[in-house]
Chain A
Amino acid sequence: AQSVSQHNHHVILSEAASLELGCNYSYGGTVNLFWYVQYPGQHLQLLLKYFSGDPLVKGIKGFEAEFIKSKFSFNLRKPSVQWSDTAEYFCAAYNQGGKLIFGQGTELSVKP
């Protein structure tokens, strides 16, 4: 079955540290990829998405992600995290049946 995996379940960082959250998907061919974020008490919202073109995608709040086809990866990065980045982050990809498949989520805690 097509799947999306996030290997980091809980990441704890200090403010100003760099962030990289891993995301791997299990299938080849054309793939459309998303990162969503869920801040405490708020809606799940879109951070960024990749459909085609430049594999380095920039999103809101200084986040970016790089699509590496050969590694089936779409890792999320931020050079310097802030306390306000504390949230749960979800990677997602559409499968070939048109359903959006989510990873398990990564909880990020940023210490002030």
Chain B
Amino acid sequence: DGGITQSPKYLFRKEGQNVTLSCEQNLNHDAMYWYRQDPGQGLRLIYYSQIVNDFQKGDIAEGYSVSREKKESFPLTVTSAQKNPTAFYLCASSIGALATQETQYFGPGTRLLVL
């Protein structure tokens, strides 16, 4: 059953703590993305990766970091430098990247809450 999985579904962060959100895909897609969803603001791009061992900052990368060591996996770390991390985080993938006719497919999301 192909698709994108994200874990955990809910994540709680304490002050000063780094937390990592998992994203895995078995669609054999080259490109992967992380978005942040806030009420009334739509989705905003945090980071994206076109290929293994390469990634680029999106529009709101400050306070976040990523890695892309495997084609299937694109974890996102929310660092203590991110002052307003409470949001719904969505991972997506597409066959390629920076190609304006690619459909992006989304995972179920992780809701991050600050204690």
Binding site for B on A (CB under 8 A): 4, 6, 9, 30, 32, 34, 36, 42-46, 49, 51, 90, 92, 94, 97-100, 102-105
Contacts and interface: CB of A to CB of B under 8 A. Distances in A.
Contact of B101 (A46, A51, A104, A105): A51
A30 B100 CA distance: 10
B29 to A, nearest CB: 14
Contacts, number: 52
- Of the four ranges (under 10, 10 to 19, 20 to 34, 35 or more), the interface on chain B belongs to 20 to 34
Interface stretch (B18-26, B65-73, B75-83, B103-111): B103-111
Given A42-B108, A44-B106, A105-B40, A100 B98 contact: no
B16 interface: no
A97 B98 CA distance: 7
Contact of B41 (A30, A32, A104): A104
A34 B45 CA distance: 16
Given A43-B108, A44-B90, A49 B103 contact: yes
Contacts of A97: 98
A34 B101 CA distance: 10
B103 A43 contact: no
A98 B98 contact: yes
Given A99-B58, A102-B43, A103-B42, A94 B100 contact: yes
Given A98-B97, A98-B100, A104 B45 contact: no
A37 B33 CA distance: 18
B115 interface: no
Contact of A104 (B40, B92, B104): B40
